[in-house]
Structure 1
Amino acid sequence: MTVLILEDEYPAAERLQRLLAQADAGARVLAVRDTVAGALAWLADNPAPDLILSDIQLADGLSFEIWEQAVVPSPVVFTTAYDAYALRAFEANSVAYLLKPVKLAALQAALAKLRQWPAPAPGLERLLDALPRPQRAHKTRFLVRQGEQLLPLPVAEAAWFGSRYDTTTLVAADGRRFIIDYTLEQLEGLLDPAQFFRLNRQCLAQLPAVRRLVPYFGGKLRVELHPAPADEVLVSKEKAPAVKAWLEG
């Protein structure tokens, strides 16, 4: 089985490749691309792969643009931290829609479904099949260390999360800071996407922490947060529309 991976987060792409090797020893990753433009260029120059593993938010836009701009016959397994795109995923040859962080069992189930693709089910059944299975409730608290004590901190009190040198820091609304044992990628899968947004590779913020957006050079946005981080928080030109949409609700 040949596979094309579309993912703009390097650790997530590496993890997918490891999971894929465990789920199907015969799978062969042909390429990894992190942009819509890169995916379209690769698909134009190569035979269609047996499977596409695709994140939805790529570095230069939503991966759905690929299917809007080209005829791609390959079945797709979407991997994302958001469950709001399930219906659009169905329109793009979706075999499965896996919420991050992707689990080995979920990927194995998706590959098993792929072996029967296309299923002879009626349209409604196929649509329901493409929808994500019920997930457990979003995370509501963290157990944080304060001195020698471990304290429960409600998620509502978290302003933003920062990642630096493989360390993730939870910054509370009152300015307190705690080191936590989660990556930002893991947090994307645990927290309510209506309340939290991954602004860039280093920062994931909760809605009340965003004070304003300031236009920045090259079409980027500078996000002013409270409490204020030490470094500027910049959102790429490609991701700026998604941030605005999230803030508008």
Structure 2
Amino acid sequence: MTTTIIIEDEYPAAERLEKLLLKLNSPVQILAVIQSVSGALAWLAENPAPDLIFSDIQLSDGLSFQIFEEFPVKSPIIFTTSYDEYAIKAFKVKSIDYLLKPIKFQELQTAVHKFKEMQLLSVNDYSLKIDSLLDSLQTTGKRYKNRFLVKHHEQLVPIQKEEIAYFFTSNGLVCLVRRDAKHFLIDYHLEELEKLLEPSYFFRLNRQVIATLPAIQHIHTYFNGKLKLDLQPKLTQEVVVSREKVQAFKEWMEG
């Protein structure tokens, strides 16, 4: 009997995973379903480590990586998430697999079988297996972030890529602006967003703004070879593309 815990803050996703686990040929005992970083830390401090952990990455109070950085556990981890830009980091914290939601039964079965195989490996063999997984993952091509979970009053609201007009930074804070002009603070730097966003859809206009093509309302020639842009929804601060970035911006606009 394999003991496991599920760390997941979305009830439908946790319920689906529980049902899929019960369908497996090899028996799995679910010890707990935990919804937060703080809850997981408390549970792990008070209970013996399970044989296996299933963990979402983005939880209501932070990233699950914090759990395993603050409380190193020996249990292998299967990460379950909607965002695969965290894949490389996931494998560096004893992950044996990485499943994208909605989880498919066959993929779950394969991941658990992989866990069973790794139970038979030595520590060195296990490390080599993880390195092999990393190499394989890095050659499969990068996927980009398609939605953001943002806080709005007392709720968490998902925003799809197509709903975003632009991101801008002001006084050290980064704001996501939706096409309906609603503003949401997000916990990312623009440098991080550049790596997470699809470059054919988003462009870093300058040090303050990353925009989508639909947000570019007017393009004005500006002094010294620069371009001045009007965005929609309107942004109060001036948006200027430097002379060095003008050619790349034009190529992006032309597709």
Q: 3-state DSSP class of the match of 2:27?
A: coil
- Indicate the residue corresponding to 1:28 in structure 2: 29
Measured after TM superposition, the shift of residue 206 of structure 1 is 1.4
**Correspondence for 1:3:** 4
Counterpart amino acid of 1:129? L
Kindly provide the amino acid, as one letter, of the partner of residue 56 in structure 2: D
Contact 2:169 2:190 in 1 (8 A): no
Alignment RMSD: 3.3
Give the whole-Å Cα distance in 2 for the aligned partners of 1:234 and 1:221.
Answer: 9
The answer on 1:127 being equivalent to 2:73 is no
From 187, 199, 203, the equivalent of 1:241 is 187
- What are the Cα deviations for residues 45-86 of structure 1, in whole angstroms up to 9, with x where unaligned? 111111100011111111111111112111111112222222
In the superposition, the TM-score normalised over structure 1's length comes to: 0.61
TM-score using structure 2 length: 0.60
Using the alignment, how far apart are the partners of 1:72 and 1:241 within structure 2?
27
In structure 2, distance between residues paired with 1:47 and 1:233: 44
CA distance in 2 between partners of 1:7 and 1:127 (Å): 27
Quick check: 2:174–2:189 contact (8 Å CA) kept in 1? Answer: no
In the aligned structure 2, how far is the partner of 1:245 from the partner of 1:59? Answer: 23
Deviations 1:202-244 (A, max 9, x none): 43221672446799xxxx998542135xxx7766xxxx31486
Identity percentage over the alignment? 39
- 1:133: how far off? 9.5
Q: Which has the higher contact order (CA 8 A, sep 6+)?
A: 1
**Count of residue pairs the alignment pairs up:** 184
- Matching of residues 93-172 of structure 1 within 5 Å: 93-118=94-119, 119-120=121-122, 121=125, 123-129=127-133, 132=137
Q: Secondary structure of 1:23's match?
A: coil
Q: Secondary structure at the match of 1:227?
A: coil
Which protein has the larger Cα radius of gyration, Structure 1 or Structure 2? 2
Q: Once the two structures are superposed, what CA deviation does each residue of 1:81-119 show, in whole Å capped at 9, x if it has no partner? A: 222222322222211111222110111011111112243
Partner of 2:180: 227
Quick check: which one's helix share is greater?
2
Structure 1 stretches of 4+ moved >6 Å: none
Alignment gaps of 5+ in structure 1: 139-191
